[in-house]
Every structure is written in C-alpha cells, then in structure tokens.
Amino acid sequence: MHPVQIVDLFAGPGGLDVAAEKLGMATVGVEWDSAACATRRAAGLETVEGDVRRYGPGLFPDADVLAGGPPCQTFTVAGTGAGRRALDDVLAFVERMVAREDREEIAKDLSKLEDERTGLVLEPLRWALEAIDDLGKPYRAIVLEQVPAVLPVWEAYAKALHSEGYSVDCGLLRTEAYGVPQTRKRAVLIARLGPESVKLPAPTHRTYRKGVPRDSGDSSLAPWRTMNDVLRRESPFLVISNYGTGGDPKARGRRGSWEPSATVTGKITRNRVVSLDGAEMDRFSFSEAGRLQTFPTDYPWSGKDVGQQIGNAVPPRLAMHVLCAAFGWEPPTDDVLSKVQTWRPKGPAEEEGSAEVVPQPVMADAV
C-alpha cells in the first residue's frame, strides 16, 4: 500500500510529525526558524528550512496529506480591535480564494495587511486549492491546529473545503481529555476527501476542573493525567506560574504535581517549582517541559529558545488522536500511544546528516 506522506506547514520542532512518524507515516516539514530546524534535524525529521509562502504543493508531489499550525500572534488578541479586523480580513480572503480570484491580486492585497503575519493563516488554504487546481490531486486529508481564537477561521475553511468535496469537522479540543498531562485548548480542523463523514476524535479522559477530584465524573472516561504521571519526581511539588493571572503579579497560577500542568507556554522553564513546604526545587528541564507536552523523554531539543519551541508545539499524543480521526482509523491504542514516550536511537540517515531535504527552488509566482 502507498504509505501516507504528510507535508507539514509551519512544522515547528515537530509535535505533529513525531505523532505521524510513530503512526507509520512519512513527513516533511516546512519551517523557517533555525532553532526549530536544529531540533528537527537532530530528531532526523525531514525538513525544508524556509518561508512557507515561497513554496507550494507542486514542490512536494508525493505528499497526499496537508497539515499545518500557522503562527497565531494576530489572533491571540481576538476581542481587541486589531484581532477583529484581522479576522474580518481573513474571512474576506477565504471567500476570494475559493472564488478563484486572480492569485496575483490576492497576493498584492495580502501584502498590504496591517500585520503581514495575518495572511499566514491562509497558507494551508492556498496549498489545498493549488493542489486541486494546479496538480489535479487534492490532498486526501487536511489537519489544522491553532489557538482557540482561530476557530472562526477554521469554520470558514470548513465551508470552503466542503465546497471542494471534503467532509470536515472542526471545534475546540482540550488536551487533558486525550491523556495529555496539561490543560490546553486548541482549535482543530480535520478534513477528508469524499462524502464519508469525518468526526473529531472522541475524548478518552475526563476534563479537568480546579478542585474536582480526578476520580469523579464520567465513569466511561479515564481520569485526567497528572504532571507526576510523566515526570516522576521524588516528592510532590507546586508549579508557580511566571505570570500573574489577569496581569496581577500577586495572583500567580499554581498547579500541584497531582494535577495536570497549566498550559505549557514558551516561558515554561521560567516557572518556579517548589516543594510543599515552600523550598525551591529545580525548574523544569527541557526534557520535563517536553514531557508535559507528551514529547518523548529523549527528544533531542536543540538550538536556541527551546522553551519557545516546546510551547509552540502540538502535543504529539493529541496529534495521534487527531490524525487517526482524520483518516477514519480506530483511535490509537495504549500500545501505540506509548510509542511517543521515547524517540529513537540515531539511525544511519541522521549520522550522515541527510535528514535535511535538499533546498527546493523558490517558486516564481510566490508571494
């Protein structure tokens, strides 16, 4: 059988790719940050280091699945004037792209946006439409992930992809409901070519609520997992956030090792870790912060600002559930899920440094 090959846009250090590789799929990631690329190469993940806007599906003819986690800075201010304007702009561009308006005109208008990063969220749609129009080979599945504020964009994508012959589902997923020892909400879209309906993965674990014991709630679901389940430090601890809730430095969020971690952000390694009697303990190592995101214990974090790379990533365990749902496969079993606990010994490909894909030519008509 032809193996699945995923082209992963804005691939970061490889949260989605780790999941895909463990599920037996091949991946190639496009990523421009040299630090994230250093990690990817150390992990042996195929990588094209460059700007997603300079490439297109024609340069990855073997890929039959599209994935993407575009950066989200302009949407994290959703609710503010800038966030709303960015959203309105994007929704208008989605309509123009689906109506097949002249690509150069669209590119010209995109370059005039108040914040040029706003247009990045449209890149997966550009790739999906170009695969249809230029290659006559639509991606058989599409998987997108972003912060909750991007959900209205995914809803517009859902309508657009439906009109191109895809079945689509999108919504907000909570990571702890899939066995990730961390509370984190993400807007996820999955699409599969053809009429057969597609559904976001069903939760396997209970959702976390402060003060509600882990053994109460829906008995058909497993209890949420705790930091201690993956870190196994010798004694219980409290994590005290680097930030004050709502900007109040006195109201720093706290979670105990018997709870899931708060959302892992780029500042995770700055959080204080203290014993129950208040003594300072070692802050999280990169491996520990990665494990809270369900990366393998031995994932070879490399390059600068590893905390940011970790905070940016999709938790591989969530990505496994999402990929299986996108293909209509059974949910991953515990045996399959446990594969993300360790990465792999260095193979010959990595030793020869051949994990990097030979740089592709820049597209003439790129933005």
| Binding-residue total with ligand SAM (CB under 6 A) | 21
Residues 6 or more apart in contact with residue 29 via CB below 8 angstroms:
7, 8, 9, 11, 12, 14, 17, 40, 45, 46, 47, 48
User: Shortest CA distance to 260 belongs to which of 324, 136, 336, 177?
Assistant: 177
d(CA 342, CA 43): 11
- Choose which of 20, 21, 28, 33 interacts with ligand SAM (CB under 6 A): 33
Q: How far apart are CA 340 and CA 191, in angstroms?
A: 24
Task: Report the residue from 25, 52, 141, 262 that binds ligand SAM according to the rule CB under 6 A.
Answer: 52
Residue placing its CB nearer to ligand SAM in the complex, 123 or 176: 123
Residue 283 CB contacts under 8 Å (≥ 6 apart), including other chains? 269, 270, 271, 272, 273
Tell the smallest beta-carbon distance from residue 30 to ligand SAM (Å).
6
Q: Using CB under 6 A, which of the segments 12-20, 105-113, 234-242, 324-332 binds ligand SAM?
A: 12-20
- Please report whether residue 294 would count as binding ligand SAM according to CB under 6 A: no
- The piece of 20-28, 46-54, 162-170, 206-214 that touches ligand SAM (CB under 6 A) is 46-54
Binding to ligand SAM, residues 314-343 (CB under 6 A): 314
Cβ density class 330-367: b for 16+ within 10 Å, e for less: eebeeebbebbbebeeeeeebeeeebeeeeeeeeeeeb
From 5, 26, 58, 71, residue interacting with ligand SAM (rule: CB under 6 A): 71
Task: Tell me if 36 contacts ligand SAM by CB under 6 A.
Answer: yes
Q: Which of 44, 56, 69, 332 binds ligand SAM (CB under 6 A)?
A: 69
Instruction: Give the binding site for ligand SAM (CB under 6 A).
Output: 10-16, 30-33, 36, 51-53, 69, 71, 120, 312-314
